[in-house]
Structure formats: structure tokens, C-alpha cells
Amino acid sequence: MRTAVALVLAFSIRPRVLILDEPSSGLDPIHQRHVLDLMIEAAANGAAVLFSSHQVGQVERAADSVAIMKRGKLIVSSVIDDLKSGEKIIEAVFAGPIPDLGDLAGDPRILRTEQTGSLLRVVTRDDNDAIAQRIFALHPKSIRTIDLNLEEIFMNAVSGDQH
């Protein structure tokens, strides 16, 4: 309850800048949603709202821009919509075993490939259509492109060696 009261007091004075660290930590889901709504409303009314959180779903809902840090270093800083439009999963199902990917596996636009039976999943960054066309040339039974959510983008950023 102390957290909830402190947040109500912080928002009640309608500050121009709010800096919050894990603002919904320790709150039940109803109060977490209320805090997010307060943050969104404050931003809509012109306040700058900066907050840190490990609850990526809440960040995706409340933030316009995101910065991701790893070991104290900034590794990603972007508008969320730009991040989501850049990284995709290309998923292809083959009639039999997955054919040899050749030089496609070493393409720097590919963050990760996963192969399970006849299913190929390729996580891409940039130029998704060109990579999808190269996979289509391998003659899958089906192919589709899937948008990543912010949690998947976060996991790719902090788990990869490229950063």
C-alpha cells in the first residue's frame, strides 16, 4: 500500500517530469494497470515520464521509446514501433527435412535460426522481404512472416553476442 500511496502522491502534483524505478513492482494486477494508465495519461498531458522496469509487457504498453541496457552499457535505443518493424520471424514449413541453407545461415541480417523437424524459424533484422524470398526459393510448403513483440526483441538484444 505504501507504493500505491507514494505513486498517487507523485502523480497528484502533475509534475512536468516523472522518473520512476519499477513503478508497479509489488502491486497487484489491478493496481499495476492503474499505474500504467496514470503514466500514459501524464505523458498525454505533456509530462516527460521516464521509468525503468523488467516487466517488458508493461513497457511495451506504456512507452513510446525504449532503451535497453546490458552490463551497464546502452545497447538499444529506439522508438518501439521502429524496433518492431525492423525485427521479424520468418517461419517456413517443409515437406521433408529442411534443405541446406547454404550461405543464408551466415547472413548478418539474421540474428538466429532455429530448426525443429521440418520447421525453420529465422529471426531477422532489416530487409526481411529479401530473406523471405531466399527461404521461399528453398520451396517450403508454407512460409509466413511474424512480428516480434518487445519481449522477444529484448531477449534478442541481451542474449546475443552481437552487442
Q: Any idea what the CATH number is for the domain that residue 139 is in?
A: 3.30.70.980
Structure-block grid coordinates of residue 139: 520451396
Q: How confident is the model at residue 99 (pLDDT cuts 50, 70, 90)?
A: very high
In this predicted structure, the answer to whether residue 35 has a pLDDT above a threshold of 60 is yes
Residue 71 lies in a domain: no
Distance from chain centroid for Cα 148: 7
- State the pTM of this model: 0.67
Residue 162 lies in a domain: no
Sequence-separated (6 or more) residues with CB below 8 Å from residue 107 = 131
Domain containing residue 106 = 86-148
Q: Identify whether the C-beta of residue 75 lies closer than 8 Å to the C-beta of residue 131.
A: no
Residue 77 lies in a domain: no
Q: Specify the amino acid at residue 142.
A: S
Q: What is the pLDDT of residues 45-77, one digit of tens each?
A: 999 999 999 888 889 888 999 999 999 999 999
Domain tally, the chain? 2
Residues 95 and 54 both lie in one domain: no
Q: Residue 160 has what pLDDT?
A: 62
Residues 131 and 95 both lie in one domain: yes
